[in-house]
Structure 1
Amino acid sequence: MTVYITNMHGQMRNSTAQIAQNMAAQFADEIGIRELGYYFYDASAEPAGELSARLDGILSSLTVDDIVILQEPTWMEMQWQQRLVDKINAYRQEYRVKLIMFVHDVAPLMFDNPTRVPEWIDFYNQADVLILPMPQMKQELDKWGLKVKKIVYQQAWDALTVDQLTGESPYRTVLNFAGSPSKFTFVNDWHEKVPLEVFADPTAPLDNPQVRFQGYVANEHLIECLHQNGGFGLLWEASPTVYEYMKLNVNFKFGSYLAAGLPIVIHRGIAQADLVEKYHLGKVVDSLAEASEWVQSVTEEQYRQLADHVYRFGWLNRQGMFTKRALTEAVFQARLEE
């Protein structure tokens, strides 16, 4: 019996979707799970015979009692990924292959397209086991007719870094934010007393001395840059639609701040806010003004205590433990019959 995990290639180097899949596959490899790689492309006009041959190639290693972990979304068209699952289903009938879906994002909820949710629910219901981001996501999908009973929760993204974290993060009254101002527009309207240091390139000139652009940093070096920059990590969303989705999902920035050892300031309601409160990883706030006031109030001694909590907790995601735990538990549930 062999366990496999799908892994996407071919998107832009800074694609968070691809970074997440590649990282999960790398941590999976560390526990003996092998890759089923595929290339991201426009398959809309691909002839049926060529598509069938391509998918057969992806799955050619499968044999009796294997397990396939399908990272979702594939970011291909629904027709493409359904054809892939059709192929896996044939192996399930013939060779007792099991199917786990590792759901990173629920695309129609992510892009506020509820009319397509039933189509995706039908797709998920073909799995033996689902890895979902958080219990909140399961509660939402249950409303739409989710039938899968075996559920594992991811809880947080891990983080890969090629750099070794050294020393303590500097105590600074600044908020760090890893995100583009074109997507997170509150950056362009920053009026708080605490400076905002943005790890992205500006999309337009911004005459605001309180916003300092650090430039885009490749994901494998971002953790060390955040660690050396010090201060606090900000997890915030001003768009009501995106905020509602963040109540259900695991946020990639949370894992980056955690791995960097930065105390986290998080918008109340975002799914990881409970972890921040439970494990003393920072502060849950209702407004950016509250975030700014709290950061200004934290003494160096208090900062050191928070940073120590975060650094020790962050060891888990620097080692890929959230991914490894979720994958291992899902494999157990897929293999053990009730």
Structure 2
Amino acid sequence: MKNRVHITSLYGLGGIAGVAQKRAVEAAKQLGFNELAIFKYDDLTDSPSELSKRIDGIIAGLEIGDTVIFQSPVWISPNFEKRFIDKVKLYQGKVIIFINDVPPMMFASNEVLMPDFIEVYNKADLLIVSSENMKEYLVDKGVTVKKIIIQNLWDIPVEFEKTSETKYLSKISFAGSDKKFGISEKLKSSDIKVEIYDNRPDNKVIPNNIHYSGYVDEISLLSRLHEGGFGLVWTENMYWREYMKYNASYKVSTYLRAGIPIVAHKSISCANLIEKNHWGILVDTLEEAVEVINNMSEEEYQKYIDSVSKVSFLLSSNWFTKKLLVDAMYEL
């Protein structure tokens, strides 16, 4: 009988991280892979024997020689990840770890956990990492796995209404927390329109060029972004900017799926892709971005739109994730 391929999916996790995992699973199912459901819980309440039984239940459908794609992190604990992978390896198949995020890099309070996560990653036969920068970083931190595949982009397999052609607008859109990423503070004195998909702050004077649209559902967001202008992938928080050198940003894929060019810092992990494929502009400061946008002709903008439309189509069909998973299986 042919060995099967399984992929883990975390339940009980909200936000973009939860959506990203579920979409990876949907792409995997389209390839005939099987889902292994893991529910997010506090494993510190489990004794070693309870943890063992819990994992046995999750992997009850495995057979000798099966391959498991483990999406990490599961936001439970490195201990759970270690024990889970050790159990899977008893079935004598292959283990692929698909690294969605690296918690010790995301939060200063978690930096102490890096050796634990490196130990987890080194249990894999193959790693899927977000970028070339991430690969170099993890190898420098002690990863010894020889087979490493680069992800680069998340898919956005969503259809949305396109009410008009995308056109040049002296406008920057930002989908995310203004307070967390510090966007309005940097752009409030510029002459460019800024659309922030976040709730309007209370007791704060809002400059005329800044508009808060509140949080909208993904389909509405894509439809509104599609009208034109530029999508901003940015933070003024230096800790997060450092992490953006390594992770695969969901915002990048959102703007590309919407069909608009990106504005990003030159250090972003996918800078080479953006530059090579003419997906947007890379700058050192937001002031520089405003200047470039205001001096851009409609003809120049249309060239960006033509380039972005090609990748938008691919993002809509899970092309990147399916290719990634097929490449990983082939590499094994």
TM-score range, shorter chain: over 0.9
What is the identity, as a one-letter code, of the residue corresponding to 1:48? Answer: P
- The answer for the alignment partner of 1:307 in structure 2 is 305
Of residues 26-35 and 179-188 in structure 1, the stretch that sits farther from structure 2 once superposed is 179-188
Match of 1:139 among 130, 136, 140: 136
Matched, 1:118 2:115: yes
CA distance in structure 1 between the partners assigned to 2:201 and 2:47 by the alignment:
40
Once the two structures are superposed, residues 182-228 of structure 1 have per-residue CA deviations (whole angstroms, 9 ceiling, x without a partner) of 32123344322212111122344442222211111233543223213
User: CA offsets per residue over residues 142-166 of structure 1, 9 Å max, x none?
Assistant: 1111100001000111113142546
Match of 1:330 in 2: 328
How many pairs align?
Answer: 327
Q: Give 1:247 deviation, angstroms.
A: 0.9
Sequence identity percentage: 37
TM-score by length of 1: 0.92
What's 1:74 paired with? 74
TM-superposition CA deviations, 1:95-117 (whole Å, max 9, x none): xx110000011110121343322
CA distance, structure 1, for counterparts of residue 91 and residue 161 of structure 2: 43
Q: Please give the per-residue CA displacement for 1:9-55, whole angstroms capped at 9, x wherever unaligned.
A: 1123xx11101101111111111122111211222213433332221
Please say if residues 162 and 221 of structure 1, whose CA atoms lie closer than 8 Å, have aligned partners that are also in contact: no
Deviation track 1:217-271 (CA, whole Å, cap 9, x = no partner) reads 233543223213x211111121121111111121110010111110111111111
Q: Is 1:168 matched with 2:155?
A: no
Aligned residue for 1:234?
Answer: 232
Partners of 2:220 and 2:33 in 1: CA distance: 25
- 1:267 alignment counterpart: 265
1:316–1:162 Cα change, 3 Å: closer
CA–CA separation in structure 2 for the residues paired with 1:61 and 1:83: 17
Partner of 1:27: 27
Pairing of 1:93-242 with structure 2 (within 5 A):
97-112=93-108, 113-165=110-162, 167-191=164-188, 192-206=190-204, 207-228=206-227, 230-242=228-240
The 1-side partners of 2:113 and 2:54 are apart by 26
Cα 1:49–1:221 change in 2 (3 A) is farther
The 1-side partners of 2:245 and 2:22 are apart by 25
What are the ranges of 5 or more consecutive residues in structure 1 without an aligned counterpart?
Answer: none
Deviation, 1:65, is 2.1
Q: Would you say the 8 A contact 2:191–2:209 is kept in 1? A: yes
Matched-pair contact (CA < 8 Å) for 1:160–1:220: no
Letter in 2 for 1:183: K
Deviation at 1:59, TM superposition (A): 0.6
Q: What displacement does 1:320 show?
A: 1.4
Tell me whether 188-197 or 141-150 shows the greater mean CA deviation.
188-197
My pick for the range that moved more, 18-27 or 211-220, is: 211-220
CA deviation digits over 1:98-139, x for unaligned, max 9?
Answer: 100000111101213433222211110000000011111111
C-alpha spacing 1:218/1:212, structure 2 compared with 1 (3 Å): same
Secondary structure at the counterpart of residue 16 of structure 1: helix
- How high is the TM-score relative to the length of structure 2? 0.93
Q: Which stretch of the first structure deviates more once superposed, 156-165 or 71-80?
A: 156-165
Aligned equivalents of 2:74 and 2:56: distance in 1? 16
2:8 paired residue number: 6
The residue number in structure 1 matching 2:40 is 40
Q: Partners of 1:18 and 1:27 in 2: how far apart?
A: 15
Contact 1:161/1:224 (8 A) holds in 2: no
